[in-house]
Amino acid sequence: MSLGEPNVKRALDWILDRLADDPDAKRGELIDEASRQFDLTPLEADFLYRQLTEALKGKPPGRPRP
């Protein structure tokens, strides 16, 4: 699986936008909401979680954009 999957990429972008607006938002809740909104499979949701973790790794608080 890769970020080439359109729904996974759109979901990741959507979550990063929400975090840019509200850095204190709960990531798990955002992933759940994005999974429903973008109709992700459980495998895609797990992949999204890992990609979000990588995207946020080493980023200062309040600046979650890669």
Buried b (16+ CB within 10 A) or exposed e, 30-57: bbeebbeebebeeebbebbeebbeebbe
- Within a domain: residue 13? yes
- Within a domain: residue 18? yes
Regarding pTM above 0.85, the answer is: no
pLDDT by position in tens, the chain (length 66): 555 578 999 999 999 999 999 999 999 999 999 999 999 999 999 999 998 988 888 665 444 444
Total domains in the fold of the chain: 1
- Within a domain: residue 37? yes
- Within a domain: residue 62? no
- Within a domain: residue 61? no
Which range of residues forms the domain containing residue 30?
Answer: 6-56
